[in-house]
Structure 1
Amino acid sequence: MTATTQPLHGRVDPAALPRHVSLADTVGQTMTMAWRATLKMRRNFEQFFDVTIQPLLFTAMFAGIFGGAISGSVDNYLPLLIPGLIGQTVLTACVATGTQLREDMDKGVFDRFKVLPISRIAPLAGPMVADMIRYFIAATLTFATGIAMGYRPGGGVVGVAAAILLAIVAGWSLAWIFTWFGTVGSSAQAVQGISLMVMFPLTFLSNAFVPTDTMPGWLQAFADINPVSHIISAIRDLANDGAVTAEVGWALLGCLAVIAIFAPLSVRGFTKKM
């Protein structure tokens, strides 16, 4: 009787792996990867610096510098500033997602996954699910800092909770853009450079820090169609007024569009790197 064996250290033919993974298995595998990423965060607390220190620093700094010039006082500026800073901080956290992914791929961390019969999206989506913890911390700390400085959100507890939830959903959605950069970039430094070139225009050419009607016409047109502007407007409507407006719908629709475009691109880029 003859047995056929494969070399333990040989490369497994991808064609021999299952081509289809059920939705339930995909969800389970994604959550396993998310737990792995969460354990990694616990051992590397530096990953939380951008969502703990930055909200405190930027809220105090931007309110003091721009409050009087833009709104006449810090108190009047906080309802405009706080949602904008939440959008900026969450977007900054998304940049770290793509950079960390590229670093892990360069170190060979994902090599062990390529021979496993798992969903191709699970190694990407898992760490992004874990990053939702970071988005929650960033949004909560920004609101808490604003409240300590005198911000009183008209939407109350429910409105603020809804705004935080929207920020988390938006962060997870926008992270797919930077995840794609991570799969196609040549190095972690290149991914970070590309991500920052995208992140800064999306943040500052928006309604995050000033009303768009004060901008030149061409710049206002861009800011008004900027998806980040819709997300920030939706957060403002929920936190300041407790209202579920059309902006909330547009923000969620934009998030779905980003996922529909960049999630397949990320999986494709990740598979090619395998």
Structure 2
Amino acid sequence: MTTTETPVFLDEQAGRSTFVRDTGTVFRRAMRISLRNPVWSVMGLLQPVLYLCLFGPLLEPIAGQLGATNSYQMFVPGLLVQLGMFGALFVGFGLIGEWRDGVIEAERVSPAPRAALVLGRVTRDVIVVFVQGVVLCSVAFLFGLEAPFWGVVLGIVTGALLAAAFASASYAIALTLKSEDALAPLMNGIALPLLLLSGILLPITAATAPAWLNTLSNLNPVKHVVSGIRAQFNGEFGTPTAVWGVVTAIALAGIGMWFGARTFKREDG
């Protein structure tokens, strides 16, 4: 649910816009909207929890064949990535509603930096995904997850960084299309191949997949994030796989923020 409430972008002391203040203003407004209508956050968490409950037990008999000592240690990292993607890919629908209500136009005529308009909203989305990740991992421990504490924390943070990338891209695409009917199939068309080629349910390796599928999977940056979080859950913090997963998530978040800010700025014209 959207609201016509618009933030005020004015530094009372300096009489001009400041990046940190305006980012905070956008964030607080976005967070209030989420807290007033938490159903989307709950539904976003429901899907990975169902996978955890209904699919996770099926992996226990084959965990050893996949090189894992604990099936949930292999499976939960994929669910964190799924949570980051689906918790962020569809946030653009809310932005389209705000555009129709005139909120976006009011923000763009303000002196607020365009990056602040994106970062404030993305920060809200990252916090929501982070909290969802904490809940998901807490439930996973009840099912038998065995992983080091700091590995779990780093994995949740990495998944939240991935959410920042997809949320930024979703806002940019939504502001370009300005139509839910066009946004829905496009987001689904992006999400499905990325998820299937990332190995979130089962690892995709040269030993478990045909050569052509493994090659396509290696070209998918989301796969490297999944592999990185799995390494973190194994306590392998300094390995190339773990480091590359974090670097990839940071790079995707940076590209997404650039894309989002650039789209907001371009729409000014």
TM (normalized to structure 2)? 0.83
Measured in 1, the distance between the counterparts of 2:220 and 2:121 equals 26
Find 2:258's aligned residue among 253, 264, 269: 264
Matched, 1:111 2:105: yes
Considering only aligned residues, what root-mean-square deviation do their CA atoms show, in Å? 2.4
Q: Which residue of 1 aligns with 2:76?
A: 82
Measured in 1, the distance between the counterparts of 2:249 and 2:146 equals 28
Q: Which residue of 2 aligns with 1:5?
A: none
Measured in 2, the distance between the counterparts of 1:166 and 1:243 equals 12
Equivalent residues of 2:197, 2:216 under 8 A apart: yes
Q: Structure 1 residues 71 and 100, CA, compared in 2 at 3 Å: closer, same or farther?
A: farther
Amino acid at match of 2:42: F
Q: Which residue of 1 aligns with 2:192?
A: 200
Q: Which has more helix, going by share of residues?
A: 1
Deviation at 1:54, TM superposition (A): 2.2
Q: Sequence identity of aligned pairs in percent?
A: 23
Measured in 1, the distance between the counterparts of 2:209 and 2:173 equals 30
Deviation at 1:222, TM superposition (A): 1.4
Find 1:185's aligned residue among 177, 184, 199: 177
1:221-240 deviations in whole A, cap 9, x for unaligned? Answer: 11123111111111111122
Measured in 1, the distance between the counterparts of 2:154 and 2:255 equals 26
Measured in 1, the distance between the counterparts of 2:88 and 2:197 equals 18
Deviation at 1:192, TM superposition (A): 2.2
Deviation at 1:83, TM superposition (A): 0.4
Deviation at 1:169, TM superposition (A): 1.8
1:140-167 deviations in whole A, cap 9, x for unaligned? Answer: 12211221111111xx222211221222
Amino acid at match of 1:53: L
SS at match of 1:95: coil
SS at match of 2:114: coil
Amino acid at match of 1:164: I
1:56-96 deviations in whole A, cap 9, x for unaligned? Answer: 21211221345446657998421211100110111001112
1:133-172 correspondence to structure 2 within 5 Å: 133-153=127-147, 156-172=148-164
SS at match of 2:231: helix
Matched, 1:226 2:216: no
Equivalent residues of 2:26, 2:117 under 8 A apart: yes
Q: Structure 1 residues 228 and 81, CA, compared in 2 at 3 Å: closer, same or farther?
A: same
How many residues matched? Answer: 249
Measured in 2, the distance between the counterparts of 1:64 and 1:177 equals 34
- Unpaired stretches in structure 1, ≥5 consecutive residues: 1-23
Deviation at 1:259, TM superposition (A): 4.1
Which of 38-47 and 183-192 deviates more?
183-192
Measured in 1, the distance between the counterparts of 2:184 and 2:69 equals 35
Equivalent residues of 1:87, 1:232 under 8 A apart: yes
Deviation at 1:187, TM superposition (A): 0.5
1:183-240 deviations in whole A, cap 9, x for unaligned? Answer: 2124023212211111111112112111212111111111123111111111111122
- Unpaired stretches in structure 2, ≥5 consecutive residues: 1-16
Deviation at 1:122, TM superposition (A): 1.5
Equivalent residues of 1:51, 1:137 under 8 A apart: no
Find 2:238's aligned residue among 216, 234, 244: 244
Deviation at 1:272, TM superposition (A): 3.8
